[in-house]
Amino acid sequence: MEAAAAALKPVINVAAICGSLRKASYNRGLLRAAMKLSTESIEGMKINYIDISPLPLINTDLEVDGTYPPVVEAFRQKILEADSILFASPEYNYSVATPLKNAIDWSSRPPNVWAGKPAAIISSGGGFGGGRAQYHLRQIGVFLDLHFINKPEFFLNAFQPPAKFDIEGNLIDADAEERIKKVLLALQAFTLLHKGKC
């Protein structure tokens, strides 16, 4: 009976997007940790990493008869099919990174595939841990009709001792992992509420 109940538990599909293209990016490390947590300790959540590096710089000259380049169409479809979005947003010059803004802009072209999606943000960096970029991303989300969870927030100063990441950019801080888990649980609950399944 318990197995049957577990089988009926709705599974939400989360699209995970990292704003940094660097392989050892700390923000990408946060997403790897989130994916591991979702597999090992959060029932009913599947996180799929979506690579934004193949996307060309946005240029409406590439739009032909209402269609987009194949790589853009594929990216947009993945966003459309996701139940919710998990952004890992580095901070560049007090704002979101160019690759992330580019991905956002491509998917906001008609029809806007971000519209109505629940979302959460995690970030790592110096100082405020990417907080300014998060606030800019939330502002962008207003126009996109993204619905961000308000709490818990997750900012991580990557450079304040003790070390938070290993040399390959993997998260090694247990407290940070627990905080990411709380973000994921909040995103899961908000997504299910949004979908009318709880």
pLDDT tens sequence across 40-91? 999 999 999 999 999 999 999 999 988 999 999 999 999 999 999 999 999 9
Instruction: Supply the pTM of this predicted model.
Output: 0.93
> How crowded is residue 176: how many other Cβ atoms within 10 Å of its Cβ?
20
The overall average pLDDT reported for the chain is: 93
- Residue (of 142, 155, 187) closest to 47 by Cα position: 187
* 80 belongs to a structural domain: yes
Q: Supply the CATH number for residue 108's domain.
A: 3.40.50.360
Whether the pLDDT of residue 134 is over 80: the answer is: yes
pLDDT tens sequence across 89-123? 999 999 999 999 999 999 999 999 999 999 999 99
* 2 belongs to a structural domain: no
Q: In total, how many domains does the chain have?
A: 1
* 184 belongs to a structural domain: yes
Distance CA 118, CA 147 (A): 5
* 69 belongs to a structural domain: yes
Mean pLDDT of 121-141: 93
Distance CA 180, CA 170 (A): 14
Whether the pLDDT of residue 128 is over 90: the answer is: no
Question: For residue 81, how far is the Cα from the chain centroid?
Answer: 14
Distance CA 145, CA 51 (A): 22
* 3 belongs to a structural domain: no
Residue 62, domain extent: 9-194
Q: Which amino acid would we find at residue 185?
A: L
- Residue 132 is inside which H or E element, if any? helix 131-144
* 1 belongs to a structural domain: no
* 4 belongs to a structural domain: no
Q: pLDDT band at 1, cuts 50/70/90?
A: very low
Whether the pLDDT of residue 4 is over 80: the answer is: no
pLDDT tens sequence across 145-165? 999 999 999 999 999 899 999
